[in-house]
């Protein structure tokens, strides 16, 4: 039988009242620490669940911080793409913008294929210049 003195003492979690921090210095320090923790937990969630996540935060000083997995831009793009495919009727301007994006992507792909083909010719010596 254990005695009270032999029991392991653990630290008790206290409920802290949620209120705005008045000190500007303490506010910034707390924000920085909590932002690190939030971004860390978001990264864990994304890695464990194989999901995309983006967090945008404005600091007390007015600076924007972002975290994204795999990147903030890709998650936002996927969100906007999904949003447009459900209950969304595009306007003529949206269709024109989408066509422009498509043609730009095709042009980049063709350029990339041209560069890869040229690199392959150079590596095999089939370009006739050597």
Interval 6-59: pLDDT, tens: 666 777 878 878 889 999 999 999 999 999 999 999 999 999 998 899 999 999
Residue 52 and residue 75 in contact, taking contact as beta carbons nearer than 8 Å = yes
> Structurally, what CATH architecture does the domain formed by 21-88 represent?
3-Layer(aba) Sandwich (3.40)
Whether the pTM exceeds 0.75: the reply is no
Contact at 8 Å (CB) between 62 and 36?
no
Contacts of residue 53, Cβ cutoff 8 Å, sequence gap at least 6: 42, 45, 46, 67, 68, 69, 75
Question: 130: pLDDT confidence band, cut at 50, 70 and 90?
Answer: very low
Say how far apart CA 115 and CA 120 lie, in whole Å: 9
Write out the two tokens for 17: 């009242």
Output the six-digit token pair for 32.
């920085």
């Amino acid at each position: 039988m254990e005695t009270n003195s032999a029991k392991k003492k653990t630290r008790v979690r206290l409920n802290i009242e949620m209120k705005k921090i008045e000190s500007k210095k303490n506010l910034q320090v707390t924000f920085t620490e909590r932002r690190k923790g939030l971004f860390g937990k978001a990264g864990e969630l994304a890695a464990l669940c194989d999901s995309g996540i983006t967090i945008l935060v404005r600091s007390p000083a007015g600076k924007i911080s972002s975290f994204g997995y795999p990147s903030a831009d890709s998650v936002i793009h996927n969100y906007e793409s999904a949003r447009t495919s459900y209950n969304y009727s595009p306007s003529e301007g949206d269709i024109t913008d989408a066509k422009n994006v498509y043609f730009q992507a095709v042009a980049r792909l063709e350029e990339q294929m041209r560069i890869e083909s040229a690199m392959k010719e150079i590596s095999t010596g089939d370009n006739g210049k050597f």
